[in-house]
Structure 1
Amino acid sequence: MRPSPGTGRRAARSPLSRRRAAALLTASALAAGALAAPPPAAARAPGRTETPVPSSSPVTDVEESVVRVRVPLPESAGPRPERCDWLSYLRYRHADGPAAPADADRILVAQPGIFAGAGSFDGLARNTVHRAAENGDHIEFWALDRRSNCLEDRTGVRAGLAAGDVRLAVDYYYRQKEIDGRTFAGYRTNEQVEWLQHVGLEQTVRDQYDLLVRELPDRGLRKRKVMCGGHSLGGVLTAYFAMWDFDGDPATTADAGHGQCGGYFALDTRIDTGVLGMEGFPADMVPLVEFGAGVVRLGLAAGVIPRALSAPAVVNTETMNLLAIAGLAARLDPEGVSDLATRVPSSFNTDTTFRLLFSKDYPTFAAGSPSVRDFRFTNAAALGGLLDDNSQPLAFMQASVGFWDGGKIVDKEFPAPNDLDGLGLGGLAALVGTEKKAIPDSPHGPLYTWRNFDLVGVPDDPGYESRHGGPFTTAAKEVTDIGQLARSLSEHPLDFTEHYFPTKLITDIALADAPGIADDAVHTGGIDANPTLNLQAGDGLAARDPRPGDVVAPGYQHLDVLTAAAVQNGGRPEPISQNLAVFAGK
């Protein structure tokens, strides 16, 4: 496969006008599909829709569609939008493969991680389907969206993509600008998502089971052809799915979760019931967990505990949407000057998020000066600053997409110092990641640009170095094309991120031993009932617990197992998709 048009060595030296023109032309070509809304209720009588999804991906032999299947919640869940009675997934298949899923050689079904949606699997899904076809296998990859993703409003992002103008998205979400007769209703309040208090572990694994039964009614076929897995939290959900009894009779096993799959795959996670790398995370964000399941249940019902997991800044509904907007800007005009920080209105959430992500040290954070608004970034650099492992402070949100360029770069010692080992704080790497953080240091100065993953270490690379010794990064540590990350964040009808992650899902996992939560997870041998492929990021979460047989991708961070480029630096093939394709082969 060729490198993505618009990224890489050759593209980095092409005229800016050519890149802008190409982006606008591609956006126009995608407009019809990007703006396609689900059919009206009257047109959905059969209870299933499938709509092709146009894509500018360089992997041109893989076709994508969005599938929606009507599987209503029980009436006890209470009032909810009608679209939340539908389950959705992105279906990837080879252009030369069979049209019917049942005729595919294998079907990989993937659960996303925490705060993630179906769109996060795009790069991996395309690369894996392509690799499998090269091996003579026609497989499919189904990227699941959890039910709560039905609450997201993608109107602004889709309109901005279609028009080639990110300002349409910003104005829709922040200035009440109308698009096709619709205005943004705002981010849902706790009272507006009351029904999420019923969407926990049991509902999530049952949704996967019901979807598989609806789409592939023959259980024998499911056992032969389906492989179940996931990324991050998706490995935990797959473990519970494998153990779950879905007919209420433990004596019968045809309905057991492990009987619906012929194998498991774990993406920087384990097929296990522990939340790897996030120990203490539920209790940290939901302190009442320590008081037990009954208190949590009452807290959710009363609204004292937020029904959608959220932090005051960095990780919440609005900031998850901002990632899509930043991705859209970088997708449309990577070298254009970013005005995202100034165009998005000031608020406690946005101001605190920007200060947490773009302060070089504690004095800068405390003073709020210089702020991100005092710097000039390209759109690609703004996105890199949000998600790159040399900038983003949370390990579970990091990818290796290149490095800053264009001006003075210094160590970013906030919120954690770069010399963790020297200070005896090496254990913090599980939270903040393994790489030293860096940040621009010339406010009101040059335009800071972004050096894509395959331009790190080439002859014109300045080779920025940390004051603690050595370069901030090397070519061996960079694996994801920022142009393709931007595309994955902005092009899909099902989002890369999950705006309304149900609090009950994470508290149920934390309290799974309490009566009434995981009572049907009775097939304890289910986790070991099928072969498992562990695919781990070398610098990610699961690599801290290496086990025999693991496939470890050196230099990868937690998101890289999903987003890494098909061709790596030095011309190496991408190992995660390569090994997954072999595992899924005939």
Structure 2
Amino acid sequence: MPYRVLCVPVLALTLGAATATAATAAQVPAVARAGERVETPVAGSSPITDVNESVVRVRAPLPASAGPRPEACDWLSYLRFRHKDGPAGSADADRIMVAQPGVLEGAGAFDGVARNTIVEAAKKGRHVEFWALDRRSNCLEDGTGVRAGLAARDAHLAVDYYYRNKEVEGRRFAGYLGNDQVGFLQNVGLEQTVRDQYDLLARELPDQAVRKRKVLCGGHSLGGILTGYFAQWDFDGNRSTTSDAGYNQCSGYFALDTRISTSLPGMDGQVPTELVPLIRFGAQAVKIGLEYGVIPRTLSGPALINSETMNLLSIAGLAARLSPTGRSDLATYIPSSFNTDTTYRLLFSKDYPTFLKGSPTVKDFGFTNAAALGGLLDDNSEPLAFLQTSVGFFDGGRIVDKEFPLPNELSGGLGSLLGTEKKAIPDEPNGPLYSWRNYDDVGGLPHRSKDGKPFTTPAKEVTDIAQLARSLSEHPLDFTEHYFPTKLVTDIALAASPGIADDAVHSGGIKANPTLNLEAGDGLGARNPQPGDVIAPGYQHLDVLTASPVQNNGKPEPISLNLATFATH
């Protein structure tokens, strides 16, 4: 999930987060001592069984000045993907790809592209690793309910934990955290984020020469901007030395539907002040606002984008993972609330009269679990471009054009916000059970838009919905990020202000290493194509992470194929 999230008006009105500049530790971190690193294998149901996955946690405490926080927040975490026949030690791998996630995104989102890339590299006789980073703020998430539901093969158990006060694994859900409970995030911004990446690399690969020779740094969406700052950062406080410089921790860069840059692509390098009014008041005002809690410390809205709705995606993924063709009852089993009901209303209203009346609601329709998940994230249904994948299409009943928030014929000029594909919606309340045609089964669908043309074609569908469901529900580090620190965004917007990015002094860092730009053809990064870009036709913003290893044209998935070539050349 992306830098373009900033374009969403509902977010702009509620934008708040925390991440003031973090303490500057001038010393290069020592190798993690015994008891300060834990690696645990992760079991999953991916059909790509040649790749081993583990979750790695390395202790790296925040300074005392950051304020009170859970002990888990003094650890850095990542998902480590490697070939089953590859070396046990990361330093012995041929290459290590290290990926920063986008806005509202966690390490689990990289599962598909990581596995596909590792398999493609192995075909070339090389063993590469893929490290999917979790930002420090992900430490606040409670995945107990989803884990328990997966183990028991019962999505209701997850709902019981999060909504019905049921004890699971000896604990009860404490609720979604409020602004007063995440105060330390006001000290976890741009500086802390890039330093966390540096500290993790130095702990896991203590030989800087190995890092410079073997590590590829990159990310998805906002991760490209974070990589740009990382490349320019000076980490030891001495600008005359460069072995610690960010660009000397990497042998190259990769951008997944983004650019390796320190500005926001497509926005003239700036966060629009009309969308984020608080930055007009300057860095000091933002700092004070975060300290006093006047500015919300996490990116959050009253509906659609907040910690609860991000967790709902995991629960929907869990249900689709366990019983894709079973009838979904999550909309009725999850208790009604302003947040859930408004979110459903925003996502599933056919037109403005439906939205204003609030009827029919999503609860009046029958969906399989796969169709419910597809309705949440598919590019023909989900209204926001940065949340879209291409996972197939509805079937089983009448489908019509979705006229909310804009009719299809009027939305073309808002592709960066609403996406490029026609929106569709089921139109038979209290009628049939709507099912889901997977990405590789959309040929011959009878459903047509009001212009007489198909809503979708096989060339526009690239992600297996089973892969999406697995990525959302199977990982100990989540696909989504429930508590994204606002200060990370405001720091980028105000980076020229003293005290925010003072150590981003190596201006040639981005150009110091080769870069591979991997863009979604219908996503956000390909709107301004550059020479040398790899553009994946039909892909949406999230598809660069989730696409199937074999596409509908019978060819290998192009993002991972080119990433593997880049990593093995």
Q: Specify the TM-score bucket, using the shorter chain as the normaliser.
A: over 0.9
Q: 1:510 offset after TM fit, Å?
A: 0.8
Q: Does the 8 A contact of 1:276 with 1:541 survive in 2?
A: no
Q: Residue deviations 1:175-218, cap 9 Å, x none?
A: 00011220000001100000000100000000000000000000
Name the residue aligned to 1:289: 279
Q: 1:568 offset after TM fit, Å?
A: 0.7
1:119 matches 2:108: yes
Q: Does the 8 A contact of 1:282 with 1:289 survive in 2?
A: no
Q: What code does the residue aligned with 1:455 have?
A: D
Selected match of 1:468 from 423, 432, 451:
451
Q: 1:295 offset after TM fit, Å?
A: 1.1
Name the residue aligned to 2:344: 354
For 2:171 and 2:264, the matched residues in 1 are separated by 40
Q: TM-score, normalised by structure 1?
A: 0.90
1:478 matches 2:467: no
Q: Does the 8 A contact of 1:277 with 1:430 survive in 2?
A: no
Question: Mapping of 1:284-323 within 5 angstroms?
Answer: 286-323=276-313
Q: What code does the residue aligned with 1:76 have?
A: S
Name the residue aligned to 1:165: 154
Q: TM-score, normalised by structure 2?
A: 0.93
Q: What code does the residue aligned with 2:439 have?
A: F
Counterpart secondary structure, 2:495:
coil
Selected match of 1:145 from 129, 134, 137:
134
Counterpart secondary structure, 1:569:
coil
1:225 matches 2:208: no
Counterpart secondary structure, 2:56:
strand
Q: What code does the residue aligned with 1:539 have?
A: D
Selected match of 2:400 from 386, 405, 410:
410
1:524 matches 2:507: yes
For 2:315 and 2:136, the matched residues in 1 are separated by 22
Q: What code does the residue aligned with 2:223 have?
A: G
Counterpart secondary structure, 2:76:
strand
For 2:119 and 2:275, the matched residues in 1 are separated by 40
Q: 1:276 offset after TM fit, Å?
A: 3.0
1:563 matches 2:546: yes
Name the residue aligned to 2:13: none
Q: What code does the residue aligned with 1:551 have?
A: V
Q: What code does the residue aligned with 1:110 have?
A: A
For 1:275 and 1:174, the matched residues in 2 are separated by 38
For 1:258 and 1:439, the matched residues in 2 are separated by 47
Q: Does the 8 A contact of 1:411 with 1:467 survive in 2?
A: yes
For 1:284 and 1:314, the matched residues in 2 are separated by 21
Name the residue aligned to 2:77: 88
Q: Does the 8 A contact of 2:307 with 2:483 survive in 1?
A: yes
Q: 1:286 offset after TM fit, Å?
A: 4.2
Name the residue aligned to 1:192: 181
Name the residue aligned to 1:494: 477
Counterpart secondary structure, 2:408:
coil
Selected match of 1:368 from 358, 372, 376:
358
Q: Does the 8 A contact of 1:355 with 1:371 survive in 2?
A: yes
1:235 matches 2:218: no
What 5-or-longer segments of structure 1 have no aligned partner?
Answer: 1-43
Q: 1:275 offset after TM fit, Å?
A: 2.5
For 1:360 and 1:290, the matched residues in 2 are separated by 37
Relative to 1, partners in 2 of residues 1:284 and 1:215: Cα closer, same or farther, differing over 3 Å?
farther
Q: 1:278 offset after TM fit, Å?
A: 6.9
For 1:174 and 1:160, the matched residues in 2 are separated by 13
For 1:187 and 1:152, the matched residues in 2 are separated by 9
Name the residue aligned to 1:432: 418
Q: 1:426 offset after TM fit, Å?
A: 3.3
What 5-or-longer segments of structure 2 have no aligned partner?
Answer: 1-32
Name the residue aligned to 1:444: 430
1:69 matches 2:58: yes
For 1:490 and 1:287, the matched residues in 2 are separated by 36
Q: 1:427 offset after TM fit, Å?
A: 2.8
1:342 matches 2:328: no
Relative to 1, partners in 2 of residues 1:88 and 1:285: Cα closer, same or farther, differing over 3 Å?
farther
For 2:239 and 2:273, the matched residues in 1 are separated by 32
Selected match of 2:384 from 365, 377, 394:
394
Counterpart secondary structure, 1:322:
helix
For 1:272 and 1:415, the matched residues in 2 are separated by 32
Q: Does the 8 A contact of 1:286 with 1:305 survive in 2?
A: no
Name the residue aligned to 1:507: 490
Q: 1:284 offset after TM fit, Å?
A: 6.1
Q: Does the 8 A contact of 2:144 with 2:169 survive in 1?
A: no
Counterpart secondary structure, 1:107:
strand
For 2:222 and 2:348, the matched residues in 1 are separated by 28
Question: Mapping of 1:94-109 within 5 angstroms?
Answer: 94-109=83-98
**What is the number of equivalent residue pairs in this alignment?**
536
Q: 1:448 offset after TM fit, Å?
A: 0.3
Name the residue aligned to 1:22: none
Report sequence identity in percent: 75
1:380 matches 2:370: yes
For 2:563 and 2:405, the matched residues in 1 are separated by 36
Q: Does the 8 A contact of 1:71 with 1:86 survive in 2?
A: yes
Q: 1:121 offset after TM fit, Å?
A: 0.1
Q: What code does the residue aligned with 1:181 have?
A: G
Selected match of 1:51 from 40, 47, 61:
40
Counterpart secondary structure, 2:509:
helix
For 2:497 and 2:412, the matched residues in 1 are separated by 34
Name the residue aligned to 1:576: 559
Q: 1:291 offset after TM fit, Å?
A: 1.4
Q: What code does the residue aligned with 1:552 have?
A: I
C-alpha root-mean-square deviation of aligned residues, in Å? 1.2
Q: What code does the residue aligned with 1:186 have?
A: G
Selected match of 1:540 from 523, 530, 537:
523
Per mean C-alpha deviation after superposition, the further-off stretch among 559-568 and 292-301 is 292-301
Q: What code does the residue aligned with 2:417 have?
A: L
For 1:435 and 1:469, the matched residues in 2 are separated by 15
For 2:44 and 2:154, the matched residues in 1 are separated by 17
For 1:170 and 1:324, the matched residues in 2 are separated by 11
Q: 1:55 offset after TM fit, Å?
A: 1.2
Q: What code does the residue aligned with 1:234 have?
A: G
Q: Does the 8 A contact of 2:459 with 2:553 survive in 1?
A: no
Q: Residue deviations 1:204-256, cap 9 Å, x none?
A: 00000000000000000100000000000000000000000001111111110
Counterpart secondary structure, 1:304:
coil
